[in-house]
Amino acid sequence: MKQPTIDWPAAVKPLLKKYKNTQHPLEAANLYQWIVMVVLSAQSTDHVVNLIAPEFFKAFPNMRALAKAEAELLFPYISKIRNFRHKAQWLVKTAKAIKNDSNIPLDIDSLVELPGIGRKSANVIRRGAKASPEGVIVDLHTIRVANRLGIVNTTTPEKIEKELMEILPKKEWDAGMAMSFLGREICRPKPQCPICLMKKVCTYYNGWKTGSTVKKKVAKK
Ligand code: SF4
């Protein structure tokens, strides 16, 4: 059966409601910590970043302290993080450019200029700072869930973000993070569809056909 027309802005409301107060797994306490932890978390796990963060922030409590350091000084604190040498250089470069926490930018265009920060990271930082969304967070979980739902039919993060920004009104742009939370809890690689609040509108669960073979594509992951 073909995928029926779905009113996605209405369909994602329960998902947004369920996760609206859910904190991002990174345990950052302020904007400076968000910048550092988001850079460190790329291709690493949030769990490892949370583990090393307290000692790191004791040694480098703010941008000003970090700006005085050389990259090598960071190594002992972040050696468990993948690609830590490059990340240390990026963080020190950022700190030397920004100098003080009060200068940290919050607009997406400025954030993505910083080394190690792409659109997903910039969107996560803005969410952490409780700023209104300027984009949609698209991580690996979002990619899987959005395709299974059938709200998009592409695995390219930039395309997914653009499409979700077109399909959903701005006040619902936190849906990317909500899909990510659903992907971490329920719509895991082996999905728990019977307990999922999105099953009525889900292409994967209902076996609907889209323009392409969504079900096959995500099942291979
Ligand atoms: S119904 Fe199943 S496949 Fe669809 S979003 Fe929920 S868990 Fe994922």
129 CA distance to ligand 1 middle (Å): 30
What is the domain range of residue 175? 6-21+138-215
pLDDT at 17 over 60: yes
CA distance 134 to 114: 17
pLDDT at 166 over 50: yes
Q: Which neighbouring-strand residues pair with 2? A: 209
CB 216 within 8 A of CB 155: no
Give the mean pLDDT of 100-116. 96
pLDDT at 218 over 70: no
pLDDT at 202: 98
Say if ligand 1 is within 6 A of residue 114 CB. no
Say if ligand 1 is within 6 A of residue 157 CB. no
Same domain, 38 and 117: yes
Buried/exposed code over 81-91 (b: 16+ C-beta within 10 A; e: otherwise): beebeebbbbb
Answer yes or no: is 133 within a domain: no
CATH code, domain carrying 187: 1.10.1670.10
Same domain, 17 and 63: no
Residue (of 11, 27, 34, 15) closest to 150 by Cα position: 11
pLDDT at 175: 97
Place of tokens 């969107």: 123
Q: Whose CA is nearest to atom 2 of ligand 1?
A: 193
| Among 128, 162, 178, residue at a domain's last position | 128
What is the number of structural domains in the chain? Answer: 2
pLDDT at 216 over 50: no
CA distance 204 to 193: 9
Q: Whose CA is nearest to atom 8 of ligand 1?
A: 187
In sequence order, the 6+-apart residues with CB closer than 8 A to the CB of 148 are 187, 191, 202, 203, 204, 205, 214, 215, 218
Same domain, 122 and 142: no
Q: Whose CA is nearest to atom 4 of ligand 1?
A: 202
Taking the CA of residue 202 as reference, the ligand 1 atom at the shortest distance is: 4
Q: What distances in angstroms separate CA 66 from CA 92, 98, 167, one per listed residue?
A: 6, 10, 41
pLDDT at 213 over 90: no
Taking the CA of residue 186 as reference, the ligand 1 atom at the shortest distance is: 7
Answer yes or no: is 72 within a domain: yes
Say if ligand 1 is within 6 A of residue 181 CB. no
Other residues' Cβ atoms within 10 Å of the Cβ of residue 109: 9
Give the mean pLDDT of 113-117. 96
Say if ligand 1 is within 6 A of residue 202 CB. yes
CATH code, domain carrying 39: 1.10.340.30
15 CA distance to ligand 1 middle (Å): 12
Same domain, 94 and 51: yes
pLDDT in tens, 64-76: 999 999 999 999 9
Say if ligand 1 is within 6 A of residue 56 CB. no
Q: Whose CA is nearest to atom 1 of ligand 1?
A: 199
**Entry pTM:** 0.89
In this prediction, what percent of the chain has a pLDDT beyond 90? 92
- Torsion angles phi and psi, residue 209, rounded to 5: -100, 135
CA distance 89 to 115: 9
132 CA distance to ligand 1 middle (Å): 27
pLDDT at 221 over 50: no
pLDDT at 209: 86
pLDDT at 1: 87
Taking the CA of residue 199 as reference, the ligand 1 atom at the shortest distance is: 1
Q: How confident is the model at residue 211 (pLDDT cuts 50, 70, 90)?
A: low
CB 18 within 8 A of CB 185: no
Give the mean pLDDT of 162-185. 97
